Structure 1
Amino acid sequence: MSRRTRTARRTLLAATALTAGLLAGAPATAAPAAPADQQRQRAFAAAAGEFGVPENVLLAVSYLESRWDYNAGTPSTSAGYGPMHLTDLREAGTGTHHDEGAEDARGDAGRPELHPSTPEPGLPPASLQTIDVAARLTGTTADTLRTDPAQNIRGGAALLASYQRELGTSDSWYGAVARYSGAGDTAAAAAFADEVFGTLAEGVTRTTDDGQLVRLAAAEVAQDRAQLDRLGLRRTDSANVECPRGISCESIPAPYEELPDGGYGNHDLANRPQSQKIDYIIIHDTEGYWDDVLDLVQDPTYVSWHYSLRSADGHIAQHVPTKDVAYHAGNWYVNSKSIGLEHEGFAAKGTWYTEAMYRTSSKLVRYLAAKNRIPLDRAHILGHDNVPGINPAKVPTMHWDPGPYWDWSHYFDLLGAPLNGPGRPGSGLVTINPDFATNQPTFTGCESAGTPCPARGSASVHLRTEPREDAPLLADIGLRPDGSPSTMGVSDIGSRVDAGQRYAVAGTRSDWTAVWYLGQRGWLPSRAVKPAFGMVVTPKQGAASVPVYGTAYPEPEAYPEGRPPLPIVPLQYSLPAGQRYSSGGVIGSEYYYATTFDPSQHVVVRGKTRYVQIQFGHRVAYVKADDVRLLPAF
């Protein structure tokens, strides 16, 4: 079925649903004033009573969508608003950072560059317009449902109640919850419902991003999984996927085929981890909606990644076996040693990610990390924005997703590897760890260049040249060769650190801490860091500075006859004497020579040169082990 056919079918189903058996609820009766920090809890109770939805079911569904947050009234990465994630694409619109740069997703200097054109986004699925149904059911305008948290909760409760009525049962809410996911297949709907009822069984208490204390008491609730068969959803074949049990996965393969121009696409066959160890998992966002993204990855002339994750329900599609190398990170060294995960959404246009997607993503990453012995830390679980350019010319073309609104601290909590790990006060190494909800940088450019973004939580902190809030930001000569300061633009990573990244301490003053960053001393509030334990690198004695690289390629002598060596090109930065940088480990030098369609001609070139991965700026980088000393961070 084509994308347009799928879209037309969903639109027809949505239009039919609007006219079939939907009950318009009256506005809720005004409740007595609740304490300022309990109004959200009272809103859930009122909406549950009005529409006949069990309050704990309503709370658990909302938690899986938004963790009960308001998110400053901004849309999620899949056009969802408010605690109940009511979707309204007309208002949220679309946008893409991928169009801003000229990144070659393969990033292999040994082959012609890849710059496939991206078609205009197709029509979004009808499931991204649930706000219209909620407005009809509640008699409330779409604008009010987007901007008023209490009315948003009413809209979500009305949707759940309508789904329950259509099932004609009151014994179990399993089917209604599964349908709320918006999934088109039974496996994804069931996985969402299972996560909701699992959350309900465990119970949750948290304070939301706008200071509301909400509690979901632990309780066992009846689950009738047989209701799935009455939802009319397709069944998914998950026989050939690499996924853990308990989440929804399907296989939608990316093509490996020859092209008329003599090239081939859209990935390279390999035999990892036997041929090369997999060291990284890269977190991306798709910059497109689900159907369009699946169409692109199945195009042999386009690029590729290993997995896509759907926003509304966390459903996963695997495209490339993890043994093979996908074209996703813009750096061939990183590509050949990584697995790429694309998360549905837009890094700036929509500014938050659903809990459902965070949860399935973390389960997949935990599974892949265990399978490949990848450390669960920010030196190995990277954002696309942390991947370095392969040479100086490529530094400004690299992408910046998943963006500053990806909640790395929460993500690592879900991974079972919290960021507030070991470290003693006064350590020479710190982990960036701001409070996501209250850390609200004044970004610009989410809607248009220079326009302030809505104030909301972020994992990012900016470094300044002096220990004061009005001091200039640091310069990044890779992004601005003239040495001008970085900006607060949402896509400008030149003076930015994110939760989980580790940096060597360069000084302290009052309530400020300085760290070494791109050869400079950068200051940030001490409340945003925690002491860490680990190793740092510094130039060997007698060296004024050492080169910094974007790859860890072998020396020319390591290449077999007939295989031209790849140049080892330093980046435009250097690591000066007297400075220290956090080590991500000592690694060997490798280059995966894969320039033909026939995988029997592919070879892994390994050299004697050894490198140390470092956290050099916002991105990681590599220095030659012979150039530096590796020291404990006392």
Structure 2
Amino acid sequence: MSRPVPRTAAVAAAVALLAGLATPAYADTSSQRQRDFAAAAGEFGVPENVLLGVSYLESRWDSNAGTPSTSAGYGPMHLTDLRAAGVATSHHDEGSEDPRGDDARPALHPQAGPAVPPPAELQTVDRAAQLLRTDAATLRTDTTQNIRGGAALLAQFQRELGKNSGGDAQDWYGAVTRYSGSTDATAAQTFADEVFDTIAGGVTRTTDDGQQVTLAATAGLTLPQHGGNPAGVECPRRVACESVPAPYQQLPKDDYGNHDLANRPESQKIDHIVIHDTEGYWDSVLKLAQDPTYVSWHYTIRSNDGLIAQHVPAKDVAWHAGNWYVNAKSIGIEHEGFAAKGTWYTEAMYRSSSKLVGYLARKYGIPLDRAHIIGHDNVPGTTPATIKGMHWDPGPYWDWSHYFDLLGAPLGGFGLPGSSLVTIDPDFAKNQPAFTGCDTAGQPCAPRGSEAVVLHSEPSETSPLLKDAGLHPDGSVSTMDVADVGSRVATGQQYAVAEVRGDWTAIWYLGQKGWFPNPRNARVAKPAIGWVVTPKPGLASVPVYGRAYPEPEAYPANVPVQAITPLPYTLSAGQKYSSAGTAGSEYYYAVTFDVSDHVVVKGKLRYVQIQFGHRIAFVKADDVRILPAF
């Protein structure tokens, strides 16, 4: 059975729109990158639109300065070399964060077992090097040769399928599925479908190194149909999804793992989706998800083809974010890769993830904004003692702007000039903060596009960074270490303007003015419309909290009262912070394997979620005024 691509003209137009630019009528052959694709396609008999489409789904044609992707892929064709990129375990092993984040239970600090070696089929650089009679280092670092290597692999896959080179794009569907590297037939076909949807709609963009590349739209493609996802998984159509259940299992000494049963959204509304990265490769991470003594998350997404594995039903509470209030009201999604060791994520994973997040947001009524679609790095500590150990994935190289474009909810640019509220929205490719510590502590990271904007204490690049009393309780200033989020803002986050001096803008941040360059010809913050909070008249300052727990009187006799503990920050009179709306106070008491003992405590106390620093936070609604900002 076959299907036409695009299904309708609207689908093709949507693909082009999400790619960021209108569909071109013909290819722009002026750039070297474009000529490299044309030459490699001709040399190996691969249709040029197929070569361009595969490369777009891997890297969006970027060179990434020869650095590996988060799944060990190099160059525009994402040729993988695990030897060069290295391996690691799970980020849940790192730092002092308790992934459950509940004071009513002993802290959980899991340790992963030995890493599982990635499958041999992901070492594609060796096969490409053999075909070209060159070496792996050349294919990793030379963009022209990298494109030739990808074309040679596609041509080899076509021969192995018993097909001739040349021909129409749709004749290469099988070769494209094999290029995905997936051993899962549905995932490989989903990857190919995304490639051919891109070919059908066309796209043009400027790469990270300034190369203009165009893939012209191709009409009239007809491709094979394939089966859907297995029953029981909560996934959107047209992504590959499998069930790899996390165990809900009783353990010795009255312990249990690795998540809590619940009845969301009936018992508690799901307010957030938390984006993580795995800090490890697929096979090792999936073994951890199935370990009853480890922690849990709801989904994992594979890098090379976008395959989704669901581990915990959305109705249940996974142990993933290090803050029990957030855990109880969120869905956690892990993405194969690393926050800093290997610094770019594949387009296949971005697209699969955005489809999943869009589906979950619609199903559970979660707003598509950066106050509700958050990174693990945006989750607040629960008490002053836990802030320093909170995690910082998916890191400053996750492209939030592109991700929200794919979600159909573009960031920035909706306010009037001079608005008292701004949305952080730098040019990802051009914004390259000088972080350190990606590979070695204190050593500079490779220059990379980033979603992060660094804040200074004065309107000067040479002035110190801001202080974070939670991350740096000794009073020292924040640093440029890639893991130090104490003086940086992220794409899509909104902040109240404190002052403007020439090309510099200051925002309120952790009780301080945080300055960043924001010149008229290169804005990194766009005017926004929304709401801000400020202390009520007569209050010099109000406490800030990492969770929205109920008042003591709300707890039944069989549930221990949870302390309402302020963080080491205050919101002072005259300062304003972006509001994401009010939230009721809740605590999910779940400390035993027997679900009949579980209780959702809801209080009369109400909170307001705010963007206080790099992380979200909460203030009591009775302490603040909520004002419009425009």
Whether TM exceeds 0.5 here: the answer is: yes
Whole-Å separation in 2 of the counterparts to 1:274 and 1:213: 50
Residue in structure 2 matched with residue 188 of structure 1 by the alignment: 187
Whole-Å separation in 2 of the counterparts to 1:333 and 1:480: 24
Whole-Å separation in 2 of the counterparts to 1:217 and 1:37: 14
Correspondence 1:440 to 2:451 = no
Residue in structure 1 matched with residue 4 of structure 2 by the alignment: none
Residue in structure 2 matched with residue 478 of structure 1 by the alignment: 470
Whole-Å separation in 2 of the counterparts to 1:37 and 1:112: 62
Question: 1:121 offset after TM fit, Å?
Answer: 1.6
Residue in structure 2 matched with residue 143 of structure 1 by the alignment: 137
Residue in structure 1 matched with residue 154 of structure 2 by the alignment: 160
Residue in structure 1 matched with residue 420 of structure 2 by the alignment: 428
Correspondence 1:129 to 2:123 = yes
Correspondence 1:496 to 2:488 = yes
Residue in structure 2 matched with residue 206 of structure 1 by the alignment: 205
Alignment check: 8 A CA contact 2:320 2:332 kept: yes
Question: Which of the residues 31, 35, 41 maps onto 1:42?
Answer: 35
Residue in structure 1 matched with residue 86 of structure 2 by the alignment: 93
Whole-Å separation in 2 of the counterparts to 1:398 and 1:578: 29
Question: 1:100 offset after TM fit, Å?
Answer: 3.9
Residue in structure 1 matched with residue 330 of structure 2 by the alignment: 338
Residue in structure 2 matched with residue 30 of structure 1 by the alignment: none
1:207-226 correspondence runs (5 A): 207-220=206-219, 222-225=221-224
Whole-Å separation in 1 of the counterparts to 2:160 and 2:271: 49
Question: 1:421 offset after TM fit, Å?
Answer: 4.4
Instruction: Name the aligned partner's letter for residue 307 of structure 2.
Output: H
Deviations 1:297-330 (A, max 9, x none): 0001100000000000000000000000000000
Whole-Å separation in 1 of the counterparts to 2:189 and 2:466: 48
SS of corresponding position for 1:201: helix
Question: 1:99 offset after TM fit, Å?
Answer: 4.4
Alignment check: 8 A CA contact 1:197 1:221 kept: no
Give the RMSD, CA atoms, in angstroms: 1.5
Instruction: Name the aligned partner's letter for residue 619 of structure 1.
Output: R
SS of corresponding position for 1:173: helix
Whole-Å separation in 2 of the counterparts to 1:425 and 1:64: 36
Task: Give the number of equivalent residue pairs.
Answer: 594
Question: Normalising by the residue count of structure 2, what TM-score does the alignment of the two structures yield?
Answer: 0.92
Correspondence 1:582 to 2:578 = yes
Question: 1:220 offset after TM fit, Å?
Answer: 3.3
Whole-Å separation in 1 of the counterparts to 2:575 and 2:530: 16
Instruction: Name the aligned partner's letter for residue 581 of structure 1.
Output: Y
Q: 1:448 to 1:95 in 2, by over 3 A?
A: farther
Residue in structure 2 matched with residue 301 of structure 1 by the alignment: 293
Question: 1:576 offset after TM fit, Å?
Answer: 1.1
Q: 1:221 to 1:93 in 2, by over 3 A?
A: farther
Whole-Å separation in 1 of the counterparts to 2:307 and 2:599: 35
SS of corresponding position for 2:607: strand
Q: 1:420 to 1:37 in 2, by over 3 A?
A: farther
Q: 1:403 to 1:555 in 2, by over 3 A?
A: same
1:201-280 correspondence runs (5 A): 201-220=200-219, 222-225=221-224, 238-280=230-272
SS of corresponding position for 1:131: helix
Question: 1:145 offset after TM fit, Å?
Answer: 0.4
Alignment check: 8 A CA contact 2:496 2:577 kept: yes
Alignment check: 8 A CA contact 1:175 1:224 kept: no
SS of corresponding position for 1:607: strand
Deviations 1:83-138 (A, max 9, x none): 00000011111346554411100001111111111223221221321000000001
Q: Which runs of 5+ in 1 are unaligned?
A: 1-34, 229-234
SS of corresponding position for 2:148: helix
Correspondence 1:68 to 2:61 = yes
Instruction: Name the aligned partner's letter for residue 563 of structure 1.
Output: V
Alignment check: 8 A CA contact 1:505 1:514 kept: yes
Whole-Å separation in 1 of the counterparts to 2:119 and 2:614: 35
Q: 1:379 to 1:237 in 2, by over 3 A?
A: closer
Whole-Å separation in 2 of the counterparts to 1:512 and 1:125: 50
Question: 1:68 offset after TM fit, Å?
Answer: 0.2
Residue in structure 2 matched with residue 367 of structure 1 by the alignment: 359
SS of corresponding position for 2:404: helix
Alignment check: 8 A CA contact 1:186 1:236 kept: no
Question: 1:547 offset after TM fit, Å?
Answer: 0.5
Alignment check: 8 A CA contact 2:506 2:516 kept: yes
Instruction: Name the aligned partner's letter for residue 555 of structure 1.
Output: E
Greater mean deviation of Cα atoms: 169-178 or 431-440: 169-178
Deviations 1:35-83 (A, max 9, x none): 9960000000010011110000000000000000001111000000000
Residue in structure 2 matched with residue 455 of structure 1 by the alignment: 447
Residue in structure 2 matched with residue 8 of structure 1 by the alignment: none
Question: 1:595 offset after TM fit, Å?
Answer: 1.2
Question: 1:221 offset after TM fit, Å?
Answer: 6.3
Whole-Å separation in 2 of the counterparts to 1:158 and 1:220: 26
